[in-house]
Structure 1
Amino acid sequence: MTILLLANGIKRFVERQMSKTPRSPLEIVALTSLALLVAAIAKYPNRAIFTRARPDLKEISVDGHPLFGNLLQALTSKENPLVGIQKAFQEMGDIYTITVPSQGRLFMVNHPMYIEHILKTNFNNYIKGAVFGDLLRDILGSGIFVSDQDAWRFHRKTAANIFTTKMYRQLTEGAFTDSTRDICSIFDRAESLGQPVDLQKLFLKMTMDVFGKLTFGIEFNALLTEGNTEFEDALDYLSANVDWRMINPLWPITDRLTPGKVGKVKKATGVLDKYAFSAVNKRREEAPVEREKRLRDLLDHFINHVREDGSVLSDLELRDVFVNFVIAGRDTTALTLTWQFYSLMANPRILKNVLKELDFVLQGSEIYT
C-alpha cells in the first residue's frame, strides 16, 4: 500500500509538471523512469529486486543494498569468498540468508544437523533446480552434479556398483600404491634440493591419475608431468569459472563483455570433450577378450546400461558422466587428503602417534620397503 501511494504521488507530480509546461517524449520517459526507480527502491530497500520480504527471517538476514541485495558484497569478496562466508557465519550464526538478483533468496548453513536434514533426512525436498542447472549445464551437461530426482538416482545407483570391497582393494593395492610411490619420489627430490612442495597440487594430480585409470581407463600421467597437463589446466579453469558464476548472477552478460572469455570457456570445455569421447570410443571398440581381462569399471556400468525402453546412453550422455565423475573423484578426495595432512602437521602429537602406528602396522610389508 505504501508503494502504491508513493507511485501515485509521483505520478500526480509528473502530471502537474506536464500540465504546466509541455514536456517532450524524452522528458516524459525520464520522469516516468525516475518514478519507477524511486518506487522500486522504496519497495526493495535492502534486498534484491523481485525477492519477497521476509520479516520472519529478520534475525538471520544480512542487510543488502536497494535492488541489488547482497550482490555487491559477494563481488567484493570474489578473490576469497570463503573468508567472507566464514565472517558472516561468525556474525550471524550457523544459518543466514542473503538475496541476489536473478537467484532470489539464498540460505547459507553451517551446522551438521542442518546439512544432514538437507542431504539425507529430507533429501527429496531439496532440488538443485533451474538456477543451478543454468550455471553448470554448458560444462557439466546432464551429469550427477546438475540432475535431480530420478535422473540423480540413476547416476548415484549406477555409480554405486563400483564401491565394492574388490574395487577398494584394487585402489589400495594398485593405482594408489603406484601413485604414492611417485609422490614419495617427488618428496625425496624436493628434500634433496631443499624445495617446498604444494601438497594440494600433488594430491589433485594423484587422484586424477588414480580415478582416471580405475573408472575410465585413461592414463593422465599427471604426477609424472612437469607443470599441468592440458586436462588439468582445462579443469582448473572451468572450476574457477564456475566459482565466479556462483557469486555473479550477471555472468551471462559479463562473460560476453570480457574479451576472449566465451572462447576460453569453449576451448577448455572442448578439452574435456576430447578426453571423454576418446575414452568412450576406445571402450566401444574394445575387443571382448580384452574386456574379460580387467575388472568392470564405472564407464562399463554406464555404457552397458539399458533403459526400460531398450535404449542405451548416447556418447553425449556418457561424456557428461565422464566429466562429472572425474571432478567428483579428483577434487573431493584430493582436498580431503590436503586437509588431513594440514591437520596432522598442525597437531605434532597426533602426527607422532600416527607415524608410530604406521611403523608397527606396515613393518616388513612390501609397501613399506
Structure 2
Amino acid sequence: MHSKVLGVCGAYAGVECCTSAPRNPFSLANLLYVEETGLAILAGLMFAVHAVAGISPGQSVVKLTQVDDLELHEVEDPSKRCAGNNLNSFFVHYTTYHILPLSVLCKMLTSPVLHSLIISGFAYLTYLIFEFRDRAFGTTKRKDPLFKEVAGWPLLGQLPGSILEISRPWEAGTIMTLKLRPGFSITLPGARVIEISKPEWIEYVQKTNFENYVKGDMFQSLMADLFGKSILVTDGAAWKRSRLVTSRIFHINTFKIVVEPVVDQTMHEVLEVLQVAGDEGRDIDFCNLFNRFTLDLFAEMTFGTKLGLLEGNSAVKNEGGEGYSYPEAFCDAFNFSQKHMDSRFDVAVVWQWIQKMNFRATKKMESSCHTIHDHAYTAIDERMSKLSTGDLTADDTLQKDFLGLIMLSHLQKGHTLTRDELRDDSLSLLFAGR
C-alpha cells in the first residue's frame, strides 16, 4: 500500500517540522501523508483546536513507514523527529490530550477568534434564512405568472415533505397536480422542479423546442447504474442515435409479428391464474398479478424468452418463500430497482448522501442491477454468437423480438454491435413497456 497526499495543513513546507524552532500553531501537520481520510480529518480538527486556543502542539510524532502494510511507529522523544531532515520521511505531528485542562478550555471559550467565528456564522445563517425563507438553498426566485410557486421550508424547500412522502410519491404528486394544475414549481436544495400538465406546454417541451430541454448530468447520475447510456438518460447525438435505432420498433409490422402473439398467449395465462384462484377460493392480489403480467409480457417481447412468472400458479406465491426461483428473483430485482429509482428522484439533489447512509438499500440496488444486466447479457451474447457463426442472417429471424430488431437496425446502419449499447437499448424498452 503506498501512502497518498490527502491534505496540506499549515503555512510551511514539510521540512519545517524538522526544525528546532518554536512551533507555530498553524503548522500542526504541515504535510499529511496517509492512506485513510480519518487521520486527515483528525489532523484538521487538531489544527482548528490549536489555532483557536493559541496553544503550542508537540507532544509526540507519528512516523508513517511506506511499506506494503502501513506501519505506525511512535517516537516518544520529539527531538528525534528531525531524523533524515528531508521530505522522504513522512511525519504527522499531533497533540494528545487525555483530559482537556480547564485553563485551556477557558482560554478557548474566551478567545476573540472563537467569538468572531460564532457571530459571523450566526449572522450568515440569519441572512440565509431570510433570503431563502420560502424556498430551498441554492435556488433563485422566479416570477412566472403562468404557474404557481409552492412555498417550502426555509433553506430546505420541499425536501422534508418529499422525505415524508417517500413511501407514496405518486399519490402525493397526483394530489398536488390536481390542486395546482396546469403548472407549479417546487424547490429542493440546489434545484427547482417544474411540473406541467397543459397539452400545449408539453408539446412545446417535447416537440417545438425539444433541443432546449435536456436531461442533464443530475438526471443521468440518478439512472446511470441501471440504464447506462440508453435513450432514457442521454441527450444530443447519443439520444438521436438511440432514437433512430429504436424507432424501427414502432411500426405496424412489429405489432403484428411481435406484440400481438405474445399478448394473446400471456393473456391466456392470466385467465388460467384467475380460473385456478376462483376454483380454489383463493384471494388474488391484482396489483401483483398485473405487474407480473406486464413484466412477463415485455420480457418475452424484448428478449424472446418467457420468464414464467404466471406459470404454475406462481402469481400467488409469496416472494422470498419456498419456490423462490430465478423468475422470482428477477421480478424482485426489477421491482426493487424501479422503486429505488423513483425514491432517488424524490430527493434528487441529496440522493447520493442518503444512499451512503442507507447501506442495505445500496447493496440491494447493486445486486438488482447485476441480476437485470446479466439477464440482458445472456440473451445478447447468444444472439451475437449466432451472428458470428452465420446462424442469424435472415431479417425474419431477427424480427421476432425487440432485441433482434435493435440488432438488425444497427447492422443496417453500419453500426458496430456492442454488448453495453444493446443492453441499454433493450432495457429501456423493457422498463418503458412495464
- Superposed CA deviations along residues 32-70 of structure 1, whole A, max 9, x for unmatched, are 221211111111111111211124459611111111111
- Superposed CA deviations along residues 322-352 of structure 1, whole A, max 9, x for unmatched, are 32221112x2xxxxxxxxxxxxxxxxxxxxx
- Shift in Å at residue 188 of structure 1? 0.6
Query: In the alignment, which residue of structure 1 is the partner of 2:214?
Result: 127
Mean alpha-carbon deviation: is it higher for 194-203 or for 270-279?
A: 194-203
Query: In the alignment, which residue of structure 1 is the partner of 2:346?
Result: 247
Tell me, in whole angstroms, the C-alpha distance in 2 between the residues paired with 1:93 and 1:209. 35
Q: Tell me, what secondary structure is at the counterpart of 1:108?
A: strand
Q: Tell me, what secondary structure is at the counterpart of 2:186?
A: strand
Correspondence 1:288 to 2:376: no
Query: In the alignment, which residue of structure 1 is the partner of 2:124?
Result: 36
Contact kept? 2:259, 2:301, Cα under 8 Å? no
Contact kept? 2:134, 2:151, Cα under 8 Å? yes
- Shift in Å at residue 181 of structure 1? 1.1
Q: Tell me, what secondary structure is at the counterpart of 1:107?
A: strand
Q: Tell me, what secondary structure is at the counterpart of 1:186?
A: helix
Which amino acid in structure 2 is aligned with residue 268 of structure 1? Answer: S
Distance 1:137 1:191, change over 3 A: same
Correspondence 1:324 to 2:428: yes
Query: In the alignment, which residue of structure 2 is the partner of 1:136?
Result: 223
Work out which of the residue numbers 360, 363, 366 in structure 2 matches 1:260. Answer: 360
Work out which of the residue numbers 34, 45, 60 in structure 1 matches 2:148. Answer: 60
Which amino acid in structure 2 is aligned with residue 118 of structure 1? Answer: V
- Shift in Å at residue 23 of structure 1? 2.8
Where is the helix percentage greater, Structure 1 or Structure 2?
A: 1
Mean alpha-carbon deviation: is it higher for 229-238 or for 121-130?
A: 121-130
Work out which of the residue numbers 280, 284, 289 in structure 2 matches 1:193. Answer: 280
Contact kept? 1:303, 1:312, Cα under 8 Å? no
Work out which of the residue numbers 333, 343, 350 in structure 2 matches 1:234. Answer: 333
- Shift in Å at residue 173 of structure 1? 4.8
After superposition, residues 1-369 of structure 1 pair within 5 angstroms as 23-57=111-145, 60-102=148-190, 104-171=191-258, 173-224=260-311, 226=314, 227=317, 229-248=328-347, 249-286=349-386, 287-289=389-391, 292=394, 294-296=397-399, 297-304=401-408, 305=410, 312-329=416-433, 331=434
Q: Higher relative contact order by CA 8 Å / sep ≥ 6: 1 or 2?
A: 1
- Shift in Å at residue 145 of structure 1? 0.9
Identical amino acids, percent of aligned pairs? 25
Where is the strand percentage greater, Structure 1 or Structure 2?
A: 2
Tell me, in whole angstroms, the C-alpha distance in 1 between the residues paired with 2:383 and 2:196. 42
Which amino acid in structure 2 is aligned with residue 152 of structure 1? Answer: W
Unaligned regions of 5+ residues in structure 2, if any?
1-108, 320-327
- Shift in Å at residue 179 of structure 1? 0.9
CA RMSD of aligned residues (A): 2.5
Tell me, in whole angstroms, the C-alpha distance in 2 between the residues paired with 1:139 and 1:151. 17
Tell me, in whole angstroms, the C-alpha distance in 2 between the residues paired with 1:216 and 1:284. 13
Instruction: State the TM-score, normalizing by the size of structure 2.
Output: 0.65
Query: In the alignment, which residue of structure 1 is the partner of 2:18?
Result: none
- Shift in Å at residue 311 of structure 1? 5.4
Distance 1:58 1:68, change over 3 A: farther
- Shift in Å at residue 174 of structure 1? 2.1
Which amino acid in structure 2 is aligned with residue 27 of structure 1? Answer: H
Aligned residue pair count: 308
Contact kept? 1:302, 1:313, Cα under 8 Å? no
Mean alpha-carbon deviation: is it higher for 193-202 or for 246-255?
A: 193-202
Unaligned regions of 5+ residues in structure 1, if any?
1-20, 332-369
Tell me, in whole angstroms, the C-alpha distance in 2 between the residues paired with 1:53 and 1:165. 48
Q: Tell me, what secondary structure is at the counterpart of 1:260?
A: helix
- Shift in Å at residue 182 of structure 1? 0.8
- Shift in Å at residue 166 of structure 1? 2.6
Query: In the alignment, which residue of structure 2 is the partner of 1:3?
Result: none
- Shift in Å at residue 271 of structure 1? 0.4
Contact kept? 2:246, 2:425, Cα under 8 Å? no
Which amino acid in structure 2 is aligned with residue 98 of structure 1? Answer: I
Which amino acid in structure 1 is aligned with residue 245 of structure 2? Answer: T
Tell me, in whole angstroms, the C-alpha distance in 1 between the residues paired with 2:148 and 2:421. 41
- Superposed CA deviations along residues 189-213 of structure 1, whole A, max 9, x for unmatched, are 1111233433343333233333322
Tell me, in whole angstroms, the C-alpha distance in 2 between the residues paired with 1:285 and 1:194. 48
